[in-house]
Amino acid sequence: MKKYFLDIFESIRTILIGLKITWSHLFTRACTVQYPEVKWELPERSRMRLFNKIEDCIGCGQCVRACPVDCIYMTTEKRNKEEDPWFASDGTPIKLKVTQFDIDMSLCCYCNLCTYPCPTHCLVMTPEYEFAVHTKKDFLYRFAKEEPSVMSDPATPQPTSN
Amino acid sequence: MKDTSEILQILQEKFPKYIVKSNLESAAPFLVVSAKALPAVCGFLKNDKDMNFESLMCLSGVDYKDPKTEDDRLEVVYHLFSMSKKHKLILKVELSRDDPKVPTVENIWGIANWHEREAYDMYGIQFEGHSDLRRILCPDDWVDYPLRKDYVEPETYRGMPAAASKQFAELAEEGEDLGTNPYRAG
Amino acid sequence: MQVEAYAGEEMVLNMGPQHPSTHGVLRLELETDGEIVKKVTPHIGYLHRCFEKHAENIDYPGVIPFCDRMDYIASMNNSLGYALTIEKLMQIEVNERVQTLRVLMAELNRIASHLLSIGTYAMDIGSFTPFLHCFREREKILDLFEWVCGARLLYNYNWVGGVSHDIPSGFVEKTSEFLNQLEPVIAEMDKLLSYNKIFLARTAAVGIINKDLAESFNVTGPNLRGSGIQWDLRKEEPYCAYETYDFEVPIGSGQFGPVGSCWDRYYVRVREMEQSIKLIRQALDRLPEGDVHEMVPRRVKPPKGEIYGRTETPRGELGYYVISNGGLIPFRVKVKSPCFTVLSVLPAIARGAMVADIIAIIGSIDIVMGEVDR
Amino acid sequence: MNFFREILLEQLPGFREFPSIVQTFLPMLLGCLVCLALVALFPLIAVWLERKVSAHMQDRLGPMRVGGWHGWAQTIADGVKLLTKEDIIPKGADKLLFKLAPLVVFVGGFAAFVVLPFSDQFIVSDLNIGILYVVAISSLGVVGVIMAGWASNNKYALFGGMRAAAQIVSYEIPTVLAILTVVIPVGSLSMQEIVKAQAGGVLNWFIFQPVTFFAFFIFYIGTLAEVNRTPFDIPEAESELVAGYHTEYSGMRFAFFFLAEYANMFLVSAIAVTLFLGGWHGPWLPGPVWFIFKSMCLVFLQMWLRWTLPRLRVDQLMYVSWKVLLPIAFVLVLAAGTIALITEGPA
């Protein structure tokens, strides 16, 4: 009998405590971010869309080997010895011409394993996250160019990556 | 607290014929038990007051088929652990590829039930006496045992393509030239 | 009218795979007699993503993103276990900074995981507000992670021989600031939910896992400790120098009912968050200098051999059984998942419970289907 | 009926010359339209309010976009969405019952509105058995719930329907007993009489009188269970039964359940106000404003409870009804009767 009334009392007490807590939250500031108007500032290390600075790519294929989901596709051509020598921006000579460098971002698992082995740091993950598209096909990012438009000067500082 | 060599001695006294092999040198020493004696050995290991292996940490199937070594056996590996005595033991049972049969230990450790179902699902190892030996992770009508080294991925499952359809494949069908991927070969 | 069709008094209720509170895609076949459940048969495999098959086709570092994806709530802990196992196989000794950072991240992740577990449990019981309060706090931890390694959920942070990034400057202050404001939130959660009479009535005498059952089914982690067994791998088999930290292992007390009930398991998690806060504070205090990439091998190529490594994740004991044949690709990776083992207890503890209790039990054992099915 | 008849008399000059059947039914129709407008309008506000209350209790913002200011038009947008949605009836469902169920549930809630005394004048029909009528007609809803649960041919829906039946029938009893503690001192079942008995200041409200003070809480808990609000929302417990008896409903039919649920929320709050909180009595402001304001406060309390508490289990729910509320209610009825005997003497 004592337990019966104690239980009722306890129920009322704990319910009132709960009500007090939710009441106090009614007047605390909401933590919602109103997305399209207010944008989240991503930290600099954020791993979002991949970007390849193709002018610096030496076609070594280390990123392709590192990718656990096989979403990077690359083909290269050997350059003629007689042609003008090309250099990546950190001075590495480019001996292979990258004729195809495709990344299927719909397959990418954003693990960042491809960017670490890159010897010229030309493949980076950027903090850009708004790249939704309407068809899967548009997720295929093609970085290779027909002819590299700008040849880097070996003297320019090398791009940093995290 | 006993190490594997001490346990081996005790087991050899108790079950002289059934401890087939032992490897005490490597970092992870193990004993190989013949399949027949497994329930007896395991029961002893669990209930003996010096052993007291009350938990079966892990039960794994392994396929050792390797074209280089011409090894062709299947194995079931039992990782035992005793929380009270704090010692570990690795038991292995070697099985032939064509007729992999091993008695169940689900009556000794409850968890073995699901672990054995998984080993059956992935390697086709038959656990004799198991109460409910069904596939656990794959669909019931899946053909063949996926983790065997000679497993060939089926092309379709119930009319659906079983292999992951990549978007690149779709693109290729649409006439896109996607090139080859020389670095992934092999 | 067919009389036979109505002759049986039992009804089979298929709960899941699409159901609000099966925590993913678990299917339970309930044989119910009215509200009483006579038999439960779990069907798993709906989230099977062939982790073990993948691991046999990818080099050692490439497995880590897949490890992250098993228990996506506690990725840091998953990859930590894998990295430690491979390091043991290759006999790599990491420096103290890496060890401390790993402890720091693992414990932050443990708090994040427990917050989610507690929040979803509250929602299973029918209380919605604690769920969002927990998520609010969890987001702050994810912000910290994003700051450190760039990802919010699947970090790929623990590498073989190191960690991917050192912490940015200002991280220590920001983290201690967060911990200071987390403590009152946990206390508030206690008042709002843990000691609520309705919550107690729903959980305190339900789903009892007794000691024998826990041992036989190798129940681990908070679920084991909820059954009153003092067992924590961080104490018993320390890794990452856990032996040098000062923390306690909370166990289920049976304060409001039999030991090993849903409430005990739930409450162990709440208390564990407090211990994690303690651990993080200690880790932040020591944080020795060092290079986090010092011991990262150029090629991860372990010698021939096999190893079984286990760590204490928020859900229990995660074991990796790795066999190497000396190549660049693992010969076999078997994962012993804590959720897998604890889910197999469900038929034993759910017999005779009510339909609503099944939900309470599933919530209290805190399963992540990604890890059950791998 | 008189209220609407008088309005018609004033506004419609030729009303007296109408045939007598029109003279009878036109005021009725008008009254019903007013009730319908209330029933349709109230959920629009209440749903928005519930979203906002829940959001702010959870440190969120809730709807913010549709309509501009704090998303006030969100519910209207949702209503339009529900109206234009495809009407799906499961293949194995009992078609007739399936279609009928939402209507029965809705009518049960809607019909009880006619006896709500918004002010001393504004009442559609002041029945002399008003409160009995409310109790009777609102029980119709449970029939609809069982119909929905059965006709859906879905196990979750059946579970929900059965739970709802057990729950509503059980909680009817303490609720009615609590009503009785008010009816005994008033000596009338008419809603207006009950309100008038509470005239003359706040202290005359039944909530501030010894016996009926406790009866108010029993009534409130009982009605909470009858309208399936947390902690008694087990018929539609979303974590167990997906959505309970309306699992299979979508579009407009679902909207009817939804409307009925929110209309019932207002209804029980309004009855609680009538019985215990002095009805339309209040200083300075006109009666209807006070009546609606008090009811909305109680509706807010329902929401507040919902976003704070977990849910009970079926057996615990029955325990609360039969072993806690019912004995207390009996004691209260006994006390009320004794007090009536002492103060008024034997009849």
Least confident of A60-64, A96-100, C52-56, C225-229: A96-100
Nearest chain D alpha carbon to C361: D240
Q: Does residue D1 have a pLDDT over 70?
A: no
pLDDT at B175: 57
pLDDT at A50: 86
Looking only at the bridges linking them, the beta strands covering B160-161 and B74-81 are: unpaired
Q: pLDDT tens digits for C101-143?
A: 889 999 999 999 999 999 889 888 888 888 888 988 999 999 8
For residue B6, how many other CB atoms are within 10 A of its CB?
Answer: 12
Least confident of B44-48, B82-86, B174-178, C272-276: B174-178
- Return the bridge partners of B31, or none: B22, B91
CB C105 within 8 A of CB C180: no
pLDDT at A151: 45
Say if the Cβ atoms of B168 and A137 lie within 8 Å.
Answer: no
- Scored b (16 or more CB within 10 A) or e, D64-84 reads beeeeebbebbbeebbeebee
Instruction: Count the domains in chain C.
Output: 1
pLDDT at B183: 45
What D287-291 contacts at long range (C-beta under 8 Å, 24+ apart), as own/partner pairs, is D287/D118, D287/D119, D287/D120, D287/D122, D288/D118, D288/D119, D288/D122, D291/D116, D291/D117, D291/D118, D291/D119
Nearest chain A alpha carbon to C132: A31
pLDDT at B167: 54
What chains are in contact with B, requiring at least 3 Cβ pairs below 8 Å?
A, C
CA distance B105 to chain A (A): 37
pLDDT at C71: 85
Q: What percent of chain D has pLDDT over 70?
A: 98
Say if the Cβ atoms of B179 and A100 lie within 8 Å.
Answer: yes
Q: What is the CATH number of the domain that holds C289?
A: 1.10.645.10
Host H or E run for residue A99: strand A96-104
Helices and strands per DSSP (H, E), number in chain A: 2, 7
* Residue B10 contacts C, CB cutoff 8 Å: no
CB A125 within 8 A of CB A131: no
Least confident of B4-13, B114-123, D294-303, D335-344: B4-13
Say how far apart CA A68 and CA B161 lie, in whole Å: 22
CB C137 within 8 A of CB C184: no
Chains D and B touch (3+ CB pairs under 8 A): no
CB D184 within 8 A of CB D337: yes
- Return the bridge partners of C40, or none: C30
CA distance C355 to chain D (A): 7
Host H or E run for residue B90: strand B88-95
Confidence of residue C46 (pLDDT cuts 50, 70, 90): confident
In a domain, C45, yes or no: yes
Q: pLDDT tens digits for C284-326?
A: 888 888 888 878 888 888 888 888 888 989 988 888 999 888 8
In a domain, C342, yes or no: yes
Q: Does residue A107 have a pLDDT over 70?
A: yes
In a domain, C1, yes or no: no
Q: Does residue C274 have a pLDDT over 80?
A: yes
Q: What percent of chain B has pLDDT over 90?
A: 0
Nearest chain A alpha carbon to D325: A8
As given in the structure block, the two tokens for residue D309 are: 């508490």
Say how far apart CA C233 and CA C213 lie, in whole Å: 20
Nearest chain C alpha carbon to D154: C13
Q: pLDDT tens digits for C191-211?
A: 888 888 888 888 888 888 888
Q: pLDDT tens digits for C58-83?
A: 888 888 888 888 888 888 898 898 99
Say if the Cβ atoms of C44 and B136 lie within 8 Å.
Answer: yes
Q: Does residue D332 have a pLDDT over 80?
A: yes
Tokens 């089914």 label which residue?
Answer: C217
A–B interface: beta-carbon pairs under 8 A = 40
Dihedral in degrees, nearest 10, Cα atoms D195, D198, D202, D208: -110
Q: Mean pLDDT throughout B39-60? A: 84
Say how far apart CA D226 and CA A78 lie, in whole Å: 80
Q: Mean pLDDT throughout B12-16? A: 78
* Residue D85 contacts C, CB cutoff 8 Å: no
Q: Mean pLDDT throughout D148-162? A: 86
* Residue of A14, A22, A43 lying closest to C147 (CB–CB): A43
Say if the Cβ atoms of B179 and A140 lie within 8 Å.
Answer: no
Say if the Cβ atoms of A140 and B167 lie within 8 Å.
Answer: yes
* Residue of D156, D159, D310 lying closest to C122 (CB–CB): D310
Q: pLDDT tens digits for A53-94?
A: 887 888 888 888 888 887 888 888 777 777 777 777 777 777
Torsions phi, psi for D240 (to 5 deg): -110, -50
* Domain boundaries, position C226: 6-373
Whole-angstrom CA distances from C80 to C66, C311, C319 are: 12, 8, 11
Provide the whole-model pTM. Answer: 0.86
Q: Does residue D64 have a pLDDT over 70?
A: yes
The separation between CA D98 and the C-alpha centre of its own chain, rounded to angstroms, equals 23
Whole-angstrom CA distances from A23 to C91, C133, C134 are: 56, 14, 17
CB D154 within 8 A of CB D90: yes
As given in the structure block, the two tokens for residue D140 are: 């119709």
Confidence of residue B177 (pLDDT cuts 50, 70, 90): low
Report cis status (omega within 30 of 0) of the bond before D231. Answer: yes
In a domain, C236, yes or no: yes
Residue D277's closest CA among D180, D202, D339, D185?
A: D202
* Residue A126 contacts C, CB cutoff 8 Å: no
Mutate to test the interface with C, among A65, A111, A162 (most CBs of C within 10 A): A111
Whole-angstrom CA distances from B10 to B4, B52, C132, D210, D284 are: 10, 13, 57, 80, 95
- Which fold would CATH assign to domain B4-152? Beta Polymerase; domain 2 (3.30.460)
Q: pLDDT tens digits for B138-165?
A: 888 888 888 888 888 787 777 777 765 5
Dihedral in degrees, nearest 10, Cα atoms C37, C39, C44, C46: -50
Q: pLDDT tens digits for D304-322?
A: 888 888 888 888 888 888 8
Q: Mean pLDDT throughout D28-49? A: 83
pLDDT at C111: 92
Say if the Cβ atoms of D57 and A22 lie within 8 Å.
Answer: yes
Residues in chain A within 8 Å Cβ distance of B184: 64-65, 70
Say if the Cβ atoms of C127 and D309 lie within 8 Å.
Answer: yes
Q: Does residue B137 have a pLDDT over 60?
A: yes
Helix, strand, coil percentages, rounded to 5, for chain A = 20, 20, 60
Whole-angstrom CA distances from A16 to A24, C196, C260, C261, D26 are: 12, 10, 28, 26, 49
CA distance D114 to chain C (A): 34
Residues 41-80 of D with CB under 8 A from A: 53, 55-61, 64
In a domain, C266, yes or no: yes
* Cβ within 8 Å of residue C91, ≥6 positions away: none
CA distance A113 to chain B (A): 16
Say how far apart CA D97 and CA D74 lie, in whole Å: 31
DSSP string, D177-200: HHHHHHHHHH----HHHHHHTT-S
Q: Where are the beta strands (DSSP E) in D188-343?
A: none
Q: pLDDT tens digits for C201-251?
A: 888 888 888 888 888 888 888 888 888 888 888 888 888 888 888 888 888
Nearest chain D alpha carbon to A24: D57
